[in-house]
A and B are shown apart, each in its own frame.
Chain A
Amino acid sequence: MSNILNVSPSPHAHGKETTRKLMFGVVVALLPALFTSIFYFGYGAMIVTATSVVSCLTFEYLIQRFIFRKPVTITDGSALVTGMLLAFNVPSNLPVFIIIIGSFVSIAIAKMTFGGLGNNPFNPALVGRVFMLISFPVQMTTWPVPAGFSTGYADAVTGATPLAIIKEGLKNGEPLSQLVTQIPTPSQMFLGNMGGSMGEVAAVALLIGFAFLLIKKIITWHIPVSIIGSILIFTLILWLLNPEKNADPMFHILAGGVLLGAIFMATDYVTSPMNPASMIIYGCGIGVLTVIIRVWGAYPEGVSFAILIMNAFVPLMNAYIKPKRFGEEIKNG
């Protein structure tokens, strides 16, 4: 027989999932949010997204090819996902040079210095975003008002986000009942007609993406549900205690980056915990921290910081919270 046979240890079959398919699945889930952001913010959205994606991919290619001298893996889709998520976290009129700096921080510092895909402890897109927020606070907190393709890019008309309005207002002592007239209605926020970063505006688009991710088994329900659930419960308690000083739970969930963070950022494979019990603790931690920062902290938005803080605890959770093994003897003997 001229056939030389292949021999390898079992198993001799493999499922259809590959890293690339999972990453591209996330990209597809982000498309509804991408389209709504282009719909509301026009050219700005397109420029910001394109710049972010291209610079992320470029930095990863350059570092892998010339510094690491190892095979280039930009086609596995992870830099593409980071690029899109980074774009969704910023205002649509952010100057190009800031986006490039942000991409550099995300890819080179938050991902590559740790060894590349799979080794980073912190969510790269969030590290980039927080870096840009702290280094360029003015540009990162001037949000264009949605006006479709007439929003413009460098010359966009800007206004405060609903979260900022509420935060400032409450600090100045205005009662909530008065403030709610200045912010969009819940249905407007659900559909995305509000100021904010590109990814956070349209709740409906993000929820469609969530459904897609669940159906394709790319993520499980544990993290998003525990984040949203804990925010809901915490803000519900606060609102019931003092309806004039605290916004209602629905507002907290629809405004700001809660949905984007819960569905896409906190569920990043590399930086989230690996077993269901840890995931729920992780999600609740993010929820509680977000509300604390929003209500008592200096920033109007707390999701990015909350996720980064919980990322720091993930290795600890992975090491100590173990799944209950099959046949684990709970009693001795």
Chain B
Amino acid sequence: MSLTVLLTIICLSILALFSSIILYFIAQKFKVFEDPRIDEVQAVLPAANCGGCGFAGCRNFAEALVKAETFEGLNCPVGGATVMGSVAKLLGKEAPQVDPTVAVLLCNGTPEFRPRTSRYNGASDCRISHNLYIGETDCSYGCLGLGDCVRACTFDAIHMNSETELPVIIDDKCVSCGACVKACPRKIIELRKKAKKDRKIYVTCSNCEKGGPARRACKVACIACGKCVKVCAFDAITIENNLAYIDANKCTFCRKCVTECPTSCIIEVNFPPRKSVIEVEAGVVNDNPNV
């Protein structure tokens, strides 16, 4: 080895040594103390960084959990009870009981039920169409079909069905983070309590107009006739602003309201077929792979 090479190696090694010593001392001097538990909690969290907990990412949520006195109001919808239980054990706190939920679209206005009365030709964005006008139909509350919810979902749980022009939510993939709820400008996606076997009964309408105009705009609109309220033995259905709503906590899935509804706007999902069948032509039911 020539002198040049030797000198180069020695000089660079000394430089490297000096730099590492300086860096070490600087790192020590400017070290930010962080509770080591934050790292432990973060390791347990699902690392989806979806914001469903209301915080900006899993690390942020981990910090909040460590700092919090109780877990009141803190829940990871993606990890659910298992993750919250592990975190609780780690931090020596109580995990609250939170019912799992799933996203549900409160609209069944397919082109067959809800005729198109104009053609929207602007940018393909629900918010833009919503700000512009009533939409391609006569219902100013219904789904616009341009996919803001699909784009907001980071779990691949919503897809647009090109025939029904409505988004379809895949229950298995939905983690209830709430991104689609926030994204929808008409606020017609709801997080409803998950029942066993993914069963659901709900009113597939968000139209608050009086029965006449609502029905003229869409065949399966809720006309607020009140028959469902009368037939429900569990007080689960209320009518407000010309629109019926089923409380998932009170509903026992007796399905009487589904049969009673004259416009077929209450639907049952994931139930076995009945003995006396009233065919419900809901686009959503037909698409469900579990039926």
Q: Is B241 an interface residue (CB 8 A)?
A: no
Q: How far is the CA of A182 from the CA of B117 in the complex (A)?
A: 78
How distant is B244 from chain A, measured CB to nearest CB, in Å?
Answer: 31
Q: Is B27 an interface residue (CB 8 A)?
A: no
Q: Is the CB of A6 within 8 A of B118?
A: yes
Q: Is B231 an interface residue (CB 8 A)?
A: no
Q: How far is the CA of A6 from the CA of B118 in the complex (A)?
A: 6
Q: How far is the CA of A5 from the CA of B133 in the complex (A)?
A: 13
Stretch at the interface among B38-46, B120-128, B197-205: B120-128
Q: How far is the CA of A5 from the CA of B118 in the complex (A)?
A: 5
Q: How far is the CA of A152 from the CA of B118 in the complex (A)?
A: 64
Q: Is B196 an interface residue (CB 8 A)?
A: no
By a CB distance below 8 angstroms, the chain A residues around B116 are 4
Q: How far is the CA of A273 from the CA of B118 in the complex (A)?
A: 41
Q: Is the CB of A9 within 8 A of B132?
A: yes
How distant is B145 from chain A, measured CB to nearest CB, in Å?
Answer: 14
Q: How far is the CA of A9 from the CA of B124 in the complex (A)?
A: 11
How distant is B8 from chain A, measured CB to nearest CB, in Å?
Answer: 26
Q: Is the CB of A8 within 8 A of B120?
A: yes
Q: Is A134 an interface residue (CB 8 A)?
A: no
Q: Is B31 an interface residue (CB 8 A)?
A: no
By a CB distance below 8 angstroms, the chain B residues around A7 are 118-122, 132-133, 136
Interface string of A1-36 (1 = CB under 8 A from B): 000111111000000000000000000000000000
CB-nearest residue of chain A to B123: A9
Interface string of B123-148 (1 = CB under 8 A from A): 10000100011001000000000000
CB-nearest residue of chain A to B136: A7
How distant is B118 from chain A, measured CB to nearest CB, in Å?
Answer: 5
How distant is B187 from chain A, measured CB to nearest CB, in Å?
Answer: 21
CB-nearest residue of chain A to B132: A9
| Tally of B interface residues using CB under 8 Å | 12
Q: Is the CB of B122 within 8 A of A9?
A: yes
By a CB distance below 8 angstroms, the chain B residues around A4 are 116-119
By a CB distance below 8 angstroms, the chain A residues around B123 are 9
By a CB distance below 8 angstroms, the chain A residues around B121 are 6-8
How distant is B279 from chain A, measured CB to nearest CB, in Å?
Answer: 30
Q: How far is the CA of A8 from the CA of B116 in the complex (A)?
A: 15
By a CB distance below 8 angstroms, the chain A residues around B119 are 4-7
How distant is A10 from chain B, measured CB to nearest CB, in Å?
Answer: 9
Interface string of A63-92 (1 = CB under 8 A from B): 000000000000000000000000000000
Q: Which of A5, A7, A8, A9 has the most CB of B within 10 A?
A: A7
Q: How far is the CA of A8 from the CA of B118 in the complex (A)?
A: 10
Near B by CB (< 8 A), chain A positions 86-140 give: none
Q: How far is the CA of A9 from the CA of B136 in the complex (A)?
A: 13
How distant is B110 from chain A, measured CB to nearest CB, in Å?
Answer: 17
By a CB distance below 8 angstroms, the chain B residues around A8 are 120-122, 132
How distant is A200 from chain B, measured CB to nearest CB, in Å?
Answer: 44
Q: How far is the CA of A4 from the CA of B119 in the complex (A)?
A: 7
By a CB distance below 8 angstroms, the chain B residues around A9 are 122-123, 128, 132
By a CB distance below 8 angstroms, the chain A residues around B117 are 4
Interface string of B253-280 (1 = CB under 8 A from A): 0000000000000000000000000000
Q: How far is the CA of A9 from the CA of B129 in the complex (A)?
A: 8
Near A by CB (< 8 A), chain B positions 44-102 give: none
Q: How far is the CA of A285 from the CA of B117 in the complex (A)?
A: 57
Q: How far is the CA of A7 from the CA of B133 in the complex (A)?
A: 9
How distant is B11 from chain A, measured CB to nearest CB, in Å?
Answer: 29
How distant is B123 from chain A, measured CB to nearest CB, in Å?
Answer: 8
By a CB distance below 8 angstroms, the chain B residues around A5 are 118-119
How distant is A132 from chain B, measured CB to nearest CB, in Å?
Answer: 35
Near A by CB (< 8 A), chain B positions 195-236 give: none
How distant is A8 from chain B, measured CB to nearest CB, in Å?
Answer: 4
Q: How far is the CA of A8 from the CA of B133 in the complex (A)?
A: 9
By a CB distance below 8 angstroms, the chain B residues around A6 are 118-121
CB-nearest residue of chain B to A12: B121
Q: How far is the CA of A7 from the CA of B122 in the complex (A)?
A: 7
CB-nearest residue of chain B to A3: B118
CB-nearest residue of chain A to B134: A7
How distant is A71 from chain B, measured CB to nearest CB, in Å?
Answer: 15
Q: How far is the CA of A75 from the CA of B133 in the complex (A)?
A: 36
How distant is A5 from chain B, measured CB to nearest CB, in Å?
Answer: 5
By a CB distance below 8 angstroms, the chain A residues around B133 are 7
How distant is A6 from chain B, measured CB to nearest CB, in Å?
Answer: 5
How distant is B128 from chain A, measured CB to nearest CB, in Å?
Answer: 7
Q: How far is the CA of A9 from the CA of B117 in the complex (A)?
A: 17
How distant is B160 from chain A, measured CB to nearest CB, in Å?
Answer: 18
Interface string of B18-49 (1 = CB under 8 A from A): 00000000000000000000000000000000
CB-nearest residue of chain B to A7: B118
Q: How far is the CA of A73 from the CA of B37 in the complex (A)?
A: 53
Q: How far is the CA of A4 from the CA of B115 in the complex (A)?
A: 11
Q: How far is the CA of A5 from the CA of B116 in the complex (A)?
A: 10
How distant is A201 from chain B, measured CB to nearest CB, in Å?
Answer: 47
By a CB distance below 8 angstroms, the chain A residues around B132 are 7-9
Starting from the known contacts A7-B118, A8-B132, A9-B132, 15 additional A-B residue pairs (CB-CB under 8 Å) come to A4-B117, A4-B119, A5-B119, A6-B120, A6-B121, A7-B121, A7-B122, A7-B133, A7-B136, A8-B120, A8-B121, A8-B122, A9-B122, A9-B123, A9-B128
A-B contact pairs, 18 of them (CB 8 A): A4-B116, A4-B118, A4-B119, A6-B118, A6-B119, A6-B121, A7-B118, A7-B122, A7-B132, A7-B133, A7-B136, A8-B120, A8-B122, A8-B132, A9-B122, A9-B123, A9-B128, A9-B132
**Cβ-closest 4 pairs across A and B:** A8-B122, A8-B121, A9-B122, A6-B121
